[in-house]
């Protein structure tokens, strides 16, 4: 049977180091316990960006800017990335990291709660990366659906919630049961709504890759 730890170690061994700046951000995130995408998830995300070749990317959850910069590595010269962050402490850090990477001209950082900011956006975006508070995923889905262009891609990170999403709600700590239920319902909606074609991929902490189908509308049952 496949050993998950050995597989993860092997995948890590294959990944080349990113730029010195990105390696620095990885170390900083580890030292300060800032959640950023894992290296194998970053590689998967970059590959999807290269495959889709989007003109407009929307990211929900900037943190210190690591995943935005990883996506920019595969983004075309005429591409643009908009990212949303609400934690005031992280916003200047992310902006400084974008400046150091020379990507300020391609990245727009919007401040505020995603649920409110998304309502102000017109879209459409042909690639969206969702990596925010897991308990909000379900509430954000209608706006994400509105903003995703037909044929566009929605990538959702951390869908396994460190494995807890696989457990019965009674096996989850009581304080985590609301997030557990919302995340499970979010995944159910992605797999069963006719607007989406979704695959759940066991990369990192789990990634959902959803394609917004053409010829369907938001209100279609």
Provide the token pair at 100.
């150091």
pLDDT at residue 61 above 70?
A: yes
Q: Which of 198, 213, 204 is nearest to 157 (CA)?
A: 204
pLDDT per position as a tens digit, 146-179: 999 999 999 999 887 654 555 555 455 665 555 6
End-to-end CA distance of the chain: 40
pLDDT of residue 60: 97
Give the mean pLDDT of 108-131. 95
- pLDDT grade, residue 59 (50/70/90)? very high
Nearest to 173 by CA among 3, 181, 113: 181
CATH class of 4-212: alpha beta
Q: Check residue 168 and give its pLDDT.
A: 55
């Amino acid at each position: 049977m496949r050993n998950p730890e050995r597989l993860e170690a092997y995948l890590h061994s294959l990944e080349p180091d990113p730029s010195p700046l990105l390696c620095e951000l990885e170390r900083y995130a580890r030292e300060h316990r800032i959640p950023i995408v894992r290296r194998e998830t970053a590689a998967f995300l970059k590959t999807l960006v290269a495959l889709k070749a989007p003109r407009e990317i929307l990211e929900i959850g900037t943190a210190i800017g690591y995943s935005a910069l990883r996506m920019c590595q595969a983004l075309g010269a005429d591409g643009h990335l908009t990212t949303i962050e609400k934690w005031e402490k992280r916003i200047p850090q992310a902006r400084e990291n974008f400046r150091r990477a020379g990507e300020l001209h391609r990245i727009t950082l919007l401040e505020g709660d995603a649920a409110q900011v998304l309502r102000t956006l017109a879209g459409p975006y042909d690639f969206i990366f969702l990596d925010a508070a897991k308990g909000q995923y379900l509430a954000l889905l209608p706006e994400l659906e509105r903003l995703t262009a037909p044929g566009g891609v929605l990538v959702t990170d951390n869908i396994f919630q460190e494995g807890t999403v696989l457990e019965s709600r009674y096996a989850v700590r009581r304080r985590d049961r609301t997030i557990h239920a919302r995340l499970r319902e979010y995944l159910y909606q992605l797999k069963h709504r006719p607007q989406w074609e979704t695959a759940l991929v066991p990369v990192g902490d789990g990634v959902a890759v959803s394609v917004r189908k053409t010829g369907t509308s938001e209100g279609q049952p």
